Amino acid sequence: MATQRLSRRLQVPNELASVRRGVDLVREIGAEAGMDEDDLFRADLCLTEALTNSIVHGGKDAQAPQTEIVCEVAGNWLRCRISDSGDPFDPASAEPPPLPTSLAVEGGAGVRLLHRFAEECQYERRAGRNVLTFVIRFGGEDTRFPDNWIERGPDRRSLKSAEPVVPAMAGDLRPLRERTNDDRRWNGFISRIRIFRGAAYSDLEPLLAECRRQCMAAGEVWLAPGERSPDVAVVLSGRLRVHVERKDTAPIHVIEAGHCAGEMQLLDGKAASAFVIADVDSELLMIPGDVLLKKMMVVPGVAENLLSILAGRIRRSDRLIADQVRAALELERLQRELKLAKEIQTSMLPVPPLFPEQPQVDCAGYMRPAREIGGDFYDAFPLDADRLFLTIGDICGKGLPSALFMVRTLTTLWNETARRRKPLRIVELVNRHLCNNNDTSLFVSLFCAVYDLSSRQLTYVNAGHNPPLIALGDEPFHWLASPPGVVAGILPDAAYRAGTVHLPPGSRLLLYTDGLTDAESVDNEWFGQDRLLATAESLRTGSMTELANGLVDAVDRFATGREQADDVTLLAFGTRD
Amino acid sequence: MKMTIQQLEGDSILVGLEGRFDIEGAQSIEDPFTFATTTKARRVVVDLSSVDFIASIGIRTLFSAARAQSQRGGRIVLAAPSEMVRKVLVTAGVDQVIPLFDTVEAALVRGNAT
C-alpha cells in the first residue's frame, strides 16, 4: 500500500477567530487521514496552543500581520508548521514550568501541553519569522518517519518514548561515521538540556566524555541538607523533587528532564540546604564541578544559561521566603488568638471558694486545660436559698469548635437554671437547645445535680458522663449508680431519668472527666477507675480542696514524662453537720 | 461556549459548561463565569461533562476562579471531564491543586465532605 500524502496550507490574519479556522483545517486533514477522536484532540490541542501563542505574540508587524499554517500528512504522521513574523518566542524549548503545587502558582501550561501531547516539537527563527513545527503520530499502520520533516535532531524511526536512550557511558565517544542512532538521539538530547542550550555540540562533546551517568531508584536521596556533592546533576530521564527541612513535606520544586540540580551548593561552596530526591526511577548526568566551572563555562552560551537558571532560582526562593514569613506571622496571630480563647474559656469557670456562705457544704473545683484548647468545664452555684447546682461536662473533640461548643453549653445551662429547679428538665432543655443548629455534630457528656440543703437530697441526671464517686456519711467511696442517658446535642427527644440519693453529714461526691482516668503513664498504662477509686478513698477524710489536689497530684505522678493529652477537670462536693 | 448555573442546597452552585474551552470559549463565558464563581465564598462544582475540548487558556480560567474562591474561603471542584480533557488537566497539574472527580455525584458528596 502506498504511503498516503496530504497537504493543506492556510494564511490567517492575527485575530482570535483564526484559531478556529486553523483548528478546522487540522481536523479536516486529520479526519481525511483516518485519525481517531483522541488523535484529533491532540492535534487540535497542539495547534490551538501554538496558534494562540503566535496570534498573541505575532501581531506586532503591520507589514505582514499574517500567520501561516501548513499541515501535512505522510503515512501515519501529521506535521503542522505555524509561522508568524512576531518577536522571537520559542515555545518548543521554553522551559516547561514546574507543575503547580498550590493555587498561587500556575502559568506556562500551554508550553507543557505542547511538549506532552506532540511527539516532536521544534522551533526555528527562519528569515525573520518564528517557525514552530510539531509532529503527531497517529494510529493505523506504522510507516517510516518522513525524511527531512525535522531538519536537525535525532533519528525518529522508533519513537516509542520521548526519553532519550543514553549510551552505556555518557562519555563514550565514537567516530562520527560509526555512531548509532542511539548515539545521535543522545546528542540531540544534549542540545535540549537547558544549561547547554545554544552551545555548539562540538565544543561540548569532549567535555561530556568527562561526565558520568548515574541511575537512581524512586525515593533515593541524592543530596540531604548539610551534604555537599562534587557534581552538578542533569536529569536525563525521570525527575527529582526538592524538599526543605523534611522529606515528608510537600516538595517546593520539581526538577524535570533537561534541568539541573546542585549548582547552587557547588557555586557558593556551602552545603546543600534541601533534600533532593528521585521522584521516580531517574537517570542523571553527573558533571564534575571543576569540569563545569573551568571547562564548560568558557563554551559560548553555557555561562549565560547558567546565570539565567540561577536568576530564576533566586527569584523563586525569594518568593518562598516571603511566603514563609507570611505563614509565620499568620501562625503567631493564630497562637495569640488561641491563647486568648483559652483565657476566655478559663474565665467562664467559677472562682473559688465555692459556696463560701454555706457552712453546711464544702466544695472545690479544679480544671487544667491540655496544651490544645479543649472543652471540659464544671460549675457550682446556688439556685436559691435552699438549692445548690453542680455540674461537670466534657465536649467531644478538641480545638476551637469544641471550645465554642463548651461556651454554648455553659450559657445554655445558665439560661435554663435561671428559671428551673429540676435537673431532669434542665438537662432535657439543654439537650434540645444544643441539638439546634449543631451542624458540626459535636456533643457533650454532662452530669447535673441539685442539692437541697434542707432535705439533704441530691437529685441528679447523667447524660453519658463518667459515673461519679460517692461516699455516704462514714462509708467508703463507691460508684454512684445513675439511670442511663445519652450524651447531649445529638438526639433532641432523648429521654433522661433522674436519680436521688440522701447525703448524711460527712458525705462526699466526686465528679471528674476522663482526663483523669485516661491519663497515660510512660508504660502506656491508663490511670483508670480502680486507681481513681483507691486514691479518692485514701483522701476521703480530708477537705474537698485536699481531695481535689491529692487526686491531681496522684495523676501527675502517674503520668510523669507524658504530655497531658486531655483536659483534667474535677469537682468535689462534701456535706457537713 | 454555553454556561448554566444550578443553585444547590446551602450556598452551593453547580456550573455546567458546554463546548470548546479554547480562547474564544473562555472569552465568551469569562464575565458570567467569573461573577458566578468568585463574587462570594461558596462551594462551586464545575461540571465538565459537556466540554469536548480544553486548552491552556481554559485551564487559566479555572485556575483564577479557584484561586479567588480559596482566598474568599470557598472551594471549587471539577467534575466529570471526558478522558482527553482529563488528560489535559492532569498534564497541566490541575488535579494537584483543584480536586477532580469522575462524576458530578462524587463531586457533590465528597467535594462537600472534605
- 3-state secondary structure string, A506-546? CCEEEEECHHHHCCECCCCCECHHHHHHHHHHHCCCCCHHH
Cell of A544: 474537698
Q: Answer whether A173 touches B (CB < 8 Å).
A: no
Contact A103 B84 (CB under 8 A): no
Task: For an interface test with A, give the residue of B56, B64, B98, B112 to mutate (most A CBs within 10 A).
Answer: B56
**Which range, of A31-35, A538-542, A545-549, averages the lowest pLDDT?**
A31-35
Give bridge partners of residue B17 from the DSSP assignment: B3
Tell me which H or E stretch contains A66: strand A66-74
Mean pLDDT of B91-102: 87
Q: Mean pLDDT across the stretch A427-439?
A: 89
- Give me the residue from B27, B66, B93 closest to A99, CB to CB: B93
Determine the Cα–Cα distance for residues B63 and B89; give it in Å rounded to an integer.
11
B93 chain-A contacts, CB cut-off 8 A: 99-100, 109, 112
Q: Is the pLDDT of residue A172 over 80?
A: no
> How does residue A183 score in pLDDT terms, banded at 50, 70 and 90?
low
What is the biggest distance separating any 2 CA atoms in chain B, rounded to whole angstroms?
Answer: 35
Mind telling me how many Å the CA of A102 is from chain B's nearest CA? 6
pLDDT on residue B8: 87
Q: How far apart are CA A399 and CA A188, in angstroms?
A: 58
Q: How confident is the model at residue B30 (pLDDT cuts 50, 70, 90)?
A: confident
For B36-49, what is the mean pLDDT? 88
| Region of poorest pLDDT, from A133-142, A357-366, A446-455, A556-565 | A133-142
Which of A99, A136, A253 has the most B C-beta neighbours within 10 Å, making it the best mutation to test the interface with B? A99
**Residue A511 C-alpha, separation from nearest chain B C-alpha, in angstroms:** 37
DSSP conformation class of A475: S
C-alpha cell at A566: 486531655
Mean pLDDT of chain B: 88
The residue of chain A with its CA nearest to that of B94 is: A100
Output DSSP code: residue A352: S
Q: Which candidate in A40, A57, A102, A103 is best for mutational testing of the B interface (most B CBs within 10 A)?
A: A103
What is the identity of the amino acid at B56? S
Residue spans in chain A of domains classed CATH 3.30.565.10: 5-151
Interface test with A, best of B91, B100, B112 (most A CBs within 10 A): B91
pLDDT for A205 beyond 60? yes
C-alpha distance from A534 to closest chain B C-alpha (Å): 45
CB contact under 8 A, A52 and B55: yes
Contact A112 B91 (CB under 8 A): yes
Tell me the pLDDT tens digit for each residue of A442-483: 889 999 999 999 999 999 999 989 999 999 999 999 999 988
Q: Check pLDDT > 50 for residue A167.
A: no
**A379 near A565, Cβ under 8 Å?**
no
Maximum pairwise Cα distance, chain A: 115
Tell me the average pLDDT of chain A. Answer: 83
3-state secondary structure of A180: coil
Compare CB distances from A41 to B23, B66, B84 and report the shortest one's residue: B84
Q: Which of B27, B84, B97 sits opposite A103 (nearest CB)?
A: B97
Place of cell 482529563: B86
pLDDT of B67 > 70? The answer is yes
Q: How far apart are CA A536 and CA B79, in angstroms?
A: 59
The better pLDDT of the pair A13, A63 is held by A13
Q: What is the ipTM of this complex?
A: 0.89
How large is the average pLDDT for residues A194-219?
83
Closest CA–CA distance from residue A262 to any residue of chain B (Å): 25
Tell me if A14 sits within 8 A of A84, measured CB to CB. yes
For B54, the closest chain A residue by CA position comes to A45
Q: How confident is the model at residue A170 (pLDDT cuts 50, 70, 90)?
A: very low
Instruction: Judge: B22–A38 Cβ closer than 8 Å, yes or no.
Output: no
pLDDT confidence bin for B97, thresholds 50/70/90: confident
Please state, in angstroms and rounded to a whole number, the distance separating the CA atoms of residues A444 and A396. Answer: 6
Residue with more model confidence, A223 or A171: A223
Fold of A167-174+189-347: Jelly Rolls (2.60.120)
Q: Domains along chain B?
A: 2-113 (3.30.750.24)
Q: Which helix (H) or strand (E) holds A394?
A: strand A387-395
Q: Which of residues 114-153 of A touch B (CB under 8 A)?
A: 116-117
Which residue in the set B56, B67, B98 is minimally distant from A49, CB to CB?
Answer: B56
- A103 → closest Cβ in B27, B57, B70: B70
CATH of span A350-575: 3.60.40.10
Q: What is the pLDDT of residue A456?
A: 96
* Statement: residue B17 has pLDDT above 90: yes
Q: What's the confidence (pLDDT) of residue B114? A: 45
Where is average pLDDT lowest: A119-133, A366-380, A447-461, B96-110?
Answer: A119-133
Least confident range from A59-63, A185-189, A197-201, A530-534: namely: A59-63
Residue A111: closest CA among chain B residues belongs to which residue?
B56
Q: Are A450 and A389 in contact (CB under 8 A)?
A: yes
Listed in sequence order, the residues at least 6 apart from A406 whose beta carbon sits closer than 8 Å to its beta carbon are: A345, A374, A375, A376, A377, A393, A395, A444
Whether A113 sits inside 8 A of B92 (CB atoms) is yes
| Rg, chain A, Cα only | 38
pLDDT digits (tens, 9 = 90+) for A122-165: 877 777 788 888 989 887 666 666 666 654 443 333 333 334 43
Segment A537-541 mean pLDDT: 95
Q: Which of A176-180, A468-472, A504-508, A561-565 has the lowest mean pLDDT?
A: A176-180
* pLDDT for the residue numbered A95: 54
For residue A56, is pLDDT > 80? Answer: no
From chain B, the residues in CB contact with A116 under 8 A are 91
Between A162-171, A237-246, A396-405, the lowest mean confidence (pLDDT) is in A162-171
The grid coordinates of residue A239 equal: 525527575
Question: For chains A and B, what is the number of CB pairs under 8 angstroms?
Answer: 73
Outline which parts of chain A fall under CATH 3.60.40.10: 350-575
Is residue A89 pLDDT above 70, yes or no? Answer: no
Q: What is the CATH number of domain A5-151?
A: 3.30.565.10
Considering only the beta carbons, identify the residue of A16, A44, A99 that sits closest to B23.
A16
CB atoms within 10 A of CB A290: 12
Higher pLDDT, A331 or A511: A511
Residues of A in contact with B92 (CB under 8 A): 99-100, 109, 112-113
Over residues A295-327, the pLDDT tens digits come to: 888 888 888 888 888 887 787 777 777 887 888
pLDDT for res A422: 94
pLDDT at A123: 79
Chain B nearest-CA residue for A23: B22
Shortest Cα–Cα distance, A99 to chain B (Å): 5
Neighboring chain B residues of A109 at a CB cutoff of 8 Å? 56, 59-60, 92-93
A502 touches chain B (CB under 8 A): no
Q: Cα distance from B51 to chain A (closest Cα, Å)? A: 12
Winning range, highest mean pLDDT, from A36-50, A368-382, B35-49 = A36-50
B88 vs A contacts (CB less than 8 Å): 45, 113, 117
Query: Is residue A379 very low, low, confident or very high in pLDDT (cuts 50, 70, 90)?
Result: very high
Average pLDDT over residues B25-50: 88
Instruction: Give long-range contacts, CB 8 A cutoff, 24+ apart: A141-150.
Output: A141/A1, A141/A75, A141/A76, A142/A75, A142/A76, A143/A3, A143/A74, A143/A75, A143/A76, A143/A77, A144/A3, A144/A75, A145/A77, A146/A74, A146/A75, A146/A77, A146/A79, A149/A74, A149/A77, A149/A79, A150/A120, A150/A122
pLDDT tens per residue, range A473-513: 999 999 999 888 888 988 888 889 999 999 999 999 999 99
A178 grid coordinates: 560509526
Cβ neighbours of residue A389 closer than 8 Å, sequence gap 6 or more? A379, A380, A381, A382, A383, A417, A448, A449, A450
Looking at chain A, the whole-number percentage of residues with pLDDT higher than 90 is 32
Confidence at residue A102, expressed as pLDDT on a 0 to 100 scale: 56
The half-sphere exposure of A4 on its side-chain side, counting CA atoms within 13 A, is 17
Residues of B with CB under 8 A from a CB of A: 22-24, 27, 53, 55-57, 59-60, 63, 66-67, 70, 83-84, 88, 91-94, 96-98
Per-residue model confidence as pLDDT tens digits over A381-423: 999 999 999 999 998 877 778 888 898 999 999 999 998 999 9
In chain A, CATH 2.60.120.10 covers 167-174+189-347
Q: How far is A113 from chain B (nearest CA, A)?
A: 7
- With cell 440522701, the residue in question is A502
As a whole number, mean pLDDT of residues A100-113 equals 64
Half-sphere exposure of A564 (CA within 13 A, CB side): 19
Among A18, A48, A51, A101, most B C-beta atoms within 10 A, so best to mutate, is A48
Best of B9, B11, B21, B22 to mutate (most A CBs within 10 Å, chain A): B22
